[in-house]
Amino acid sequence: MFTYEYIPHRGLTKETLKFYDIKTKVDVDGKPVSVGFRYPNSSYKVRNLDAKDFRWEGDSHPGLFGRNLFTAGSSEDVVITEGEYDAASLYQVLRTVPVVSVRSASSAVADVSNDRSWLASFRTIYLAFDADAAGRDALRSVAKLFDYNKVRVLDFDRRKDANEYLQADEASELRAIFKNARRYLPETIISSFSDFKKVLSETPKVGLAYPFPKLNELTYGIRRGESVLITAQEGVGKTEIMHSILHRTLKETDDAVGAIFLEEPKGHLLRSLAGLELRKPTHLPESGVSEEEALRAVTSLCKEDERLHIYSHFGSDDPDVLLDTIRFMVVARKVVYVFLDHISMVVSGLAGEDERRALDYIATRLEMMVKELNFALIFVSHVNDNGQTRGSRYIGKIADIRVILSRDLMSPDERIRNILGVAVGKNRFCGKTGYAGEYLFDPYTRQWTGVSANDNLPGGNFSQPKAA
């Protein structure tokens, strides 16, 4: 026979143990056998006291220990620790602040991602991970899931974790560590020769090829850590270009991809991808392509489930919500390529100076995030008659590469109207800019074909918009 009791130990009171439902299993001789930590799904993580190992009673699912004990947004702050004992220790000391824990350092990202919406309801997120290599790695990974302005770090200098401070009867020092938590900043400075060697070993690479050969010659493709801005006036075909690049990315890589098309319903985007795969206009009623055939095409293109992540919201959105969505895609879903069509739509409810400030803000944050998280961003902006990005000239300034599109929409010849002129107006990677070819779009097969001087079509004679 065994009993299950709230026995004070490791500096924790019976009240704290009861609050977190941390029970000790006791045998008939009164000897503690194990300690069980109850998780929100009613499973228990059990620590065997003799062998000092862990096992699970019930299913172990990603999630935070203690999350069910606190209402979302019930405090301005929330603390995440690396262990259940640490969560209980900090709560016992702080009392007024919700404290939760990941299952382990190795599961930290999965656990935090699972309860990310709940965590986002708090203004400030404190990370109290162990002061060892595994804890520091977990801290860096978890911090990336959030805007750095929301993240604070507890520095355990003399002891490894919160429970060690409690056991040493240093509650006041633990409270001071929380009070003096620092703002989290990524490692931004390098100075050693070994650091230099590591950076130099990252040789310039040829990236994922565009569907346009001449554009690849100038840009060397699409690389992680770079932003590509595609600009044109309305009606030129920016979304078709984005569809084609997105299709090629899914076709030629195995990387996870994020698709944010703010003016396009999810169904239309999926049918457009199916059309590129089947070489048919599947988005049209007369295409004859069934729902099942379109699904098979998209499934074949994506290769595996949960690889393509589509965020579609018709109309304007909060810039911070969109930035947070992209961060989640990249960190939690391992997305490498993010497609955003188009940036102005995010703030379409604003006008004048408010619109400019909002676009400056989102463009700056996007570029910072591209460098911080090392993903490729391909995004779209409309331009005015002078070729300047609409709403904010800063959009064109922050991008690493700017691709300019043009089309003669007024030509009486349908084939000429379907010729797209491509130019590179900016290129931080190698400095090559200028004419990048002309391409004929077939509206039935959804394919692009290069137009040369030998074709019976005019080539190279479209006026390119001026780069801002």
Name the E strands within 295-418. Answer: 308-311, 335-341, 376-382, 401-406
Closest-CA residue to 303 (of 338, 255, 243): 255
Q: Is the pLDDT of residue 109 over 70?
A: yes
Measure CA 153 to chain center: 21
Q: Is the pLDDT of residue 453 over 60?
A: no
Q: Is the pLDDT of residue 319 over 60?
A: yes
Contact 316, 357 (CB under 8 A): no
Topology alike, domains 3-183 and 213-451 = no
Mean pLDDT of the chain: 88
- Provide the 8-state DSSP code for 465: P
- CATH architecture of the domain covering 213-451: 3-Layer(aba) Sandwich (3.40)
Q: Is the pLDDT of residue 462 over 60?
A: no
Structure tokens given for 259: 């698709």
Name the E strands within 82-190. Answer: 99-101, 124-128, 151-153, 182-183
Contact 106, 137 (CB under 8 A): no
Q: What was the pLDDT predicted at 188?
A: 67
Q: Between 232 and 63, whose confidence is greater?
A: 63
Q: What percent of the chain has pLDDT over 70?
A: 93
What would the mean pLDDT of 308-337 be, rounded to a whole number?
Answer: 84
Angle at 33 between CA 30 and CA 35, to 5 degrees: 115
Q: What was the pLDDT predicted at 40?
A: 95
Q: Is the pLDDT of residue 212 over 80?
A: yes
Q: What was the pLDDT predicted at 396?
A: 83
Q: What was the pLDDT predicted at 1?
A: 80
Q: What was the pLDDT predicted at 456?
A: 53
Pairing, β 3-5 against β 419-427: unpaired
Beta bridge partners of 125: 78, 151
**Ranges 104-108, 230-234, 429-433: which has the least confidence:** 230-234
pLDDT digits 0-9 by tens, 11-61: 999 999 999 999 999 998 889 999 999 999 999 999 998 877 889 999 889
On the 0-12 / 13-18 / 19+ scale of CB atoms within 10 A, 60 is: middle
pLDDT digits 0-9 by tens, 216-274: 999 999 999 999 999 988 878 888 999 999 999 999 999 999 999 988 889 999 999 99
Structure tokens given for 254: 């195995």
* pTM for this predicted structure: 0.80
- Provide the 8-state DSSP code for 67: G
Structure tokens given for 363: 């463009």
Q: What was the pLDDT predicted at 352?
A: 62
- Distance between CA atoms of residues 153 and 125, nearest Å: 9
Q: Between 465 and 30, whose confidence is greater?
A: 30
Q: With bands split at pLDDT 50, 70 and 90, how would you rate the model's confidence at 461?
A: very low
pLDDT digits 0-9 by tens, 359-400: 888 889 999 999 989 999 999 988 877 777 777 777 888 899
Residues 6+ apart with CB under 8 A from 15: none
Can you give the residue ranges of every domain in the chain?
3-183, 213-451
Q: What was the pLDDT predicted at 194?
A: 81
Q: Is the pLDDT of residue 350 over 80?
A: no
Closest-CA residue to 99 (of 11, 16, 7, 180): 16
Contact 63, 45 (CB under 8 A): no
Q: With bands split at pLDDT 50, 70 and 90, how would you rate the model's confidence at 349?
A: low
Structure tokens given for 362: 């989102």
Q: Between 285 and 126, whose confidence is greater?
A: 126
What would the mean pLDDT of 404-410 be, rounded to a whole number?
Answer: 87
Q: Is the pLDDT of residue 455 over 60?
A: no
For the 3-183 domain, the top CATH level (class) is: alpha beta
Q: What was the pLDDT predicted at 196?
A: 85
Q: Is the pLDDT of residue 171 over 90?
A: yes
Q: Between 344 and 323, whose confidence is greater?
A: 323
Contact 35, 25 (CB under 8 A): yes
Q: Between 317 and 377, whose confidence is greater?
A: 377
- The alpha carbon dihedral of 351, 355, 357, 358 has a sign of positive
Name the E strands within 166-320. Answer: 182-183, 227-232, 256-261, 308-311
Q: What element of type H or E holds 47?
A: strand 44-48
What would the mean pLDDT of 299-310 be, rounded to a whole number?
Answer: 95
